[in-house]
Amino acid sequence: MENIALENRVFNPPADIAAHANAKADIYEWAKKDRLGFWDAHAKDMITWFKPYDKVLDDSNAPFFKWFTGGKVNVCYNCVDRHAKSERRNKAAIMYESEIGRQVVLTYGMLYREVNKFANVLASLGVKKGDRVALYMPMIPEAAIAMLACTRVGAPHSLVFGGFSPESLRDRVNDCGAKVLITADGNFRRGNPFPLKNNAEKAMEDTPTIEKCIVVKNAGNEVEMKEGRDVWYHELMAEAKAYYEPEEMDAEDMLFILYTSGTTGKPKGVVHTTGGYLLQTQATLKYVFDIKESDVYWCTADIGWITGHSYVIYGPLALGTTTFMYDGTIDYPDKDRMWDMAERYGVTKFYTAPTAIRTWMKWGTQYPQKHDLSGIKVLGSVGEPINPEAWMWYRENIGSGVAPIMDTWWQTETGAHMITPLPGITPLKPGTATNAFPGVEVDIVDENGEPAEVGYLVVKSAWPSMIRTIYGDDDRYVDQYWKRFGKFYFAGDGAKRDELGYIWVTGRVDDVLNVSGHRLGTAEVESALVECAEVAEAAVVGKKHDVKGESVCAFVILKDGFKGSDELVTKLKKHVGVKIGPIARPDDIIFTGGLPKTRSGKIMRRLLRDIAEGRAIGDVTTLADPGAMQEIASKYSGKED
Ligand code: WTA
């Protein structure tokens, strides 16, 4: 039971990091005393403006906040030109490896040349400031080039994750009315080409606004090119001129749209703008990962998600750091692929998601142990609450037992980190994202918006990289985020505070159960279950119950070598009861080989609820592995009580 106390252990910042950290000891005090002054100073220091802004924050039309009004700026210029014109010219901007081992290194000077040429390509196809461009691409350098080139010409991009179906792509393209679609022939997944262009082709059967489709030759698989619409990237680039004057964008011009799932079926097009986003992604990365000139930084997120936008591309490049990109599966050719690359590329900062960490835990320590990971100095986690057991495993096995873990809470809507420790300052406890980033004000409130120790997570004041609206639907923006608590932004998450004042995000409020009038986070029960030596992963949902309102139903994946049995069911139920309280004891425990997850790794609890409550299985098209649902459903049938 030694694990039970894990979350109460405190780990102080390593002395070597604390001694030279980018964040100075007074950073919180400074931001607290003068929040806008803090952002103002950073905006002046970290961004190269074509024209200075008049005002830091304009809140006259809240919740439609404006930052750095009157300022003129270009994101591509800040991410590429200013480094290419400095001593960083020959520093690696992007290092890339494909699944089959193809390597590309682009220095800032080389990246400058490529983005300029591609900006000219876009312009030659009629893309102008304000036009939307859709990207459906693998994790290849051309994706970064395309994103940056869009920002150079001032055309907002909309990335659609490469694993999404043609239908999802079509809906997103049509919602934003994109003029051009950029894709690739395919990319490798477990050694076989995945036919991206074919999917794009299906989507384009019904996307009337698309005039041109640019195709990158990547995997070499056969593709059909439609005369007059489809054009090869390499052919256009061969002809393109070497310089394109970066567009002078207003700080509040739209930078990109990124679709994310909401509570309804229709995805929301989250709109981010230029100046504030460019500032907060940089500032957070600099302090949270303590970025130094010699770092090799690796964020494993796909560019199709916000983490890929903010922390694979824009944050690192704006800072002039080296960002590593890998396009492939994490266990090809073997389960040590990630650690092999981390060693070979000399990775110093590593950022990933708890679901990946739990997968590596399940595979065993022999894989990281094969490699020298001693160069990794700071670790990061994002996407869901990290359970203390995974936190410890990560620190021990990837962080050489010493690297601090930055558990970063934020959202597609927030654009950048909001709650996070700082590596040279914050004593860590496994499982908590600790404190708000300097200049960000968050709180926990009850039903009535009053401060509470346990309740809803809210943001109390505007922050630079905040969502500006939902594309084409201002009302939905206000409704979704501001109606609930009036002047506070409602994040949709539940949270609690501990005796140090640290914030523990307990999971989405829509995933919160109410058992006999007691609120219970699904994440809390899952965390308890994965503490058991036999359990690799767990997903908990609420099941309607006549007396209690809801009962706890847990779907559990066991580690290799363990088998489900009645004894184990009893043991797990008991453990949860002991850990959280009898109220949290699951009524049902179902052993399964897989869980329905979105391709970004989020468990689709809605689908599990369907099974638990005996309904027909809903839409499974966004699942990483649609077959997993059938398997669970057949295991569960007949288990109704
Ligand atoms: C969850 C990902 C706990 C949370 C950047 C949030 C987290 C949602 C954490 C946003 C964390 C993300 N601890 N929960 N460190 N990070 N979440 O939009 O529920 O894909 O609301 O953005 O993920 O997911 P999104």
Atom 25, ligand 1: which residue's CA is nearest?
A: 411
Q: How confident is the model at residue 35 (pLDDT cuts 50, 70, 90)?
A: very high
Ligand 1 mean position, distance from CA 265 (Å): 19
Smallest CA separation from ligand 1 atom 22, residue: 411
Whole-angstrom distance, CA of residue 527 vs CA of residue 540 = 10
Q: What percent of the chain has pLDDT over 70?
A: 92
Q: What is the extent of the structural domain holding 596?
A: 515-637
pLDDT at 267 exceeding the cut of 80: no
Q: Which 8-state DSSP code applies to residue 77? A: I
Token pair for residue 96? 């890339």
Residue 619, pLDDT score: 63
Mean pLDDT throughout 258-262?
78
Atom of ligand 1 nearest to the CA of 420: 15
> How confident is residue 266, by pLDDT bands cut at 50, 70 and 90?
low
Say if 96 falls within a structural domain. Answer: yes
Nearest in space to 198 (alpha carbons), one of 183, 212, 211? 183
Residue 534 resides in a domain: yes
Residues 319 and 291: their CA atoms lie apart, in Å, by 8
Domain assignment of residue 37, yes or no = yes
- Across the range 222-237, mean pLDDT stands at 97
Note whether residue 79 is domain-resident: yes
In a domain? residue 154: no
On whether both 460 and 519 belong to a single domain, the answer is no
- How close is the Cα of 105 to the center of ligand 1, in Å? 31
Residues in the chain: 641
Tell me the pLDDT band of 265, cut-offs 50, 70 and 90: very low
Highest mean pLDDT among 430-444, 512-526, 527-541, 593-607: 430-444
Residue 3 carries which DSSP code?
G
User: Measured from the CA of 407, which atom of ligand 1 is nearest?
Assistant: 15
Residues 529, 394 share a domain = no
382 C-alpha to ligand 1 centroid (Å): 6
Pocket lined around ligand 1, Cβ cut-off 6 Å: 260, 306-307, 382-385, 407-412, 433, 491-493, 505, 507-508
Q: What is the pLDDT of residue 271?
A: 98
Here the CATH number for the domain that contains residue 578 is 3.30.300.30
Q: Does 558 lie in the same domain as 457?
A: no
Q: Cα(388) to centroid of ligand 1, in Å?
A: 17
| 27 Cβ contact list (under 8 Å, min separation 6) | 287, 422, 425, 438
pTM, two decimal places: 0.84
38 located within any domain? yes
Domain match, 354 and 413 both: yes
Nearest CA residue ID for atom 8, ligand 1: 411
Residue 32: what residue type? K
pLDDT band at 639 (very low <50, low <70, confident <90, very high): very low
Which of 450, 470, 490 terminates a domain? The answer is: 470
pLDDT band at 297 (very low <50, low <70, confident <90, very high): very high
Judgement on whether residues 342 and 449 belong to the same structural domain of the protein: yes
Identify the domain boundary among 437, 470, 503. Answer: 470
Q: Inform me whether the pLDDT recorded for 512 exceeds 70.
A: no
Is residue 506 in a domain? no
Probe ligand 1: pick from 379, 458, 505, max atoms within 8 Å of CB?
A: 505
Is 384 in a helix, a strand, or coil?
Answer: coil
Are 59 and 462 a contacting pair, CB within 8 Å? yes
Residue with CA at minimum distance from ligand 1 atom 11:
409
Instruction: Report the C-alpha gap between 321 and 515 in whole angstroms.
Output: 48
Whole-number pLDDT of residue 111? 98
- 470, 500, 535 — which closes off a domain? 470
Ligand 1 center from residue 164 Cα (angstroms): 20
Nearest CA to ligand 1 atom 7: 384
- Least confident interval from 58-72, 272-286, 505-519: 505-519
Model confidence pLDDT, tens digit, residues 448-476:
999 999 999 999 999 999 999 999 999 99
Assess whether 521 and 459 both reside in one domain: no
Q: What is the pLDDT of residues 180-199, one digit of tens each?
A: 999 999 998 888 888 999 99
Give me the chain's average pLDDT, please: 92
Percent of the chain with pLDDT over 90: 77
Q: What is the pLDDT of residues 104-157, one digit of tens each?
A: 999 999 999 999 999 999 999 999 999 999 999 999 999 999 999 999 999 999
> In which band, very low, low, confident or very high, does the pLDDT at 5 lie, cut at 50, 70 and 90?
confident
522 shares a domain with 464: no
Give the Å distance between the CA of 216 and the centre of ligand 1.
Answer: 32
Cα distances (Å, whole numbers) of residue 113 to 107, 243, 324: 10, 8, 19
Q: Are residues 271 and 346 in the same domain?
A: yes
For the segment 239-261, the average pLDDT, to the nearest whole number, is 95
Domain count, the chain: 2
Ligand 1 closest atom vs CA 307:
5
Pocket test for ligand 1, best of 259, 284, 351, 384 (most atoms within 8 A of CB): 384
Please indicate, yes or no, if residue 10 is contained in any of the structural domains. yes
State how far the Cα of 266 lies from the Cα of 261, in Å rounded to an integer.
7
Distance 410 CA to ligand 1 centre (A): 5
CATH (domain of 320): 3.40.50.12780
